[in-house]
């Protein structure tokens, strides 16, 4: 199940993204107060949710898009200072129920993903291979043995512009890279765009099922 813990975005909803990014740079006291309140709310909200459904759920999915195409929207030090302690607490609470934890973030995530892996995430969603230094070989080399990776099929260029034959080749390359060891959920890197050819979508399912 997925529930409420997108810390950065909730803060942005309260202040507006541009203003909150400025707050993070220039008003530490205000930011500590806002994130503290949002974090306490998320922890309590999820605690109550887990009391109701924790023994039935197998997977907890959350998202917080703190990165863009070229990297984080703010410094890694700010992520470690403001957000990571709260995520660690959330993950700790969830793991008490034996639930897998999945974390979604678009973009180039190299400045945040190692922190989240150390905090205990089981699945990273979504591998956006068109983002900076997020090529599949690089992502596999850095993280493939530490966390299950979800995505890897680029929706920005590959699925929209390339022929089905090239998509099949990319899928086979990824499957060969992982082999039989598991640790990947092969899927589009985000929502499939409206102008994606139907034959390209079918090529994904057919190639994966063919093995």
* 8 Å CB contact between 37 and 75: no
pLDDT digits (tens, 9 = 90+) for 55-83: 899 999 889 999 999 999 999 999 999 99
pLDDT digits (tens, 9 = 90+) for 98-134: 999 999 999 999 999 999 999 999 999 999 999 999 9
pLDDT digits (tens, 9 = 90+) for 9-60: 999 999 999 999 999 999 999 999 999 999 999 999 999 999 998 889 999 9
Architecture of the domain spanning 59-210:
Alpha-Beta Barrel (3.20)
Percent of the chain with pLDDT over 90: 91
User: Which DSSP state fits 104?
Assistant: E
* 8 Å CB contact between 79 and 66: yes
Residue spans of the domains in the chain: they are 59-210
Percent of the chain with pLDDT over 70: 99
Name the CA dihedral angle for 181, 211, 156, 159, rounded to a multiple of 10 degrees. Answer: 180
């Amino acid at each position: 199940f997925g529930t409420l813990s997108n810390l950065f975005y909730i803060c942005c909803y309260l202040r507006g993204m541009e203003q909150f990014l400025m707050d993070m740079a220039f008003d530490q006291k205000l930011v500590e107060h806002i994130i503290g309140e949002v974090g306490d709310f998320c922890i309590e909200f999820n605690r109550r949710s887990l009391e109701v459904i924790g023994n039935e759920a197998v997977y907890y999915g959350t998202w917080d898009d703190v990165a863009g195409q070229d990297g984080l929207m703010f410094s890694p030090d700010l992520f470690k200072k403001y957000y990571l302690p709260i995520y660690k607490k959330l993950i700790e609470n969830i793991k008490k129920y034996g639930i897998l934890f999945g974390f979604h973030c678009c973009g180039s995530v190299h400045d945040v993903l190692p922190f989240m892996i150390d905090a205990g995430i089981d699945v990273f969603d979504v591998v956006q291979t068109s983002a900076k230094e997020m090529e599949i070989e690089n992502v596999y080399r850095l993280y493939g043995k530490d966390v299950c990776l979800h995505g890897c099929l680029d929706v920005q260029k590959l699925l929209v512009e390339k022929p089905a034959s090239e998509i099949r080749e990319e899928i086979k390359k990824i499957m060969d890279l992982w082999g039989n060891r598991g640790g990947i959920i092969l899927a589009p890197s985000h929502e499939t765009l409206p102008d994606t050819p139907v034959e390209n979508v079918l090529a994904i399912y057919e190639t994966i099922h063919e093995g």
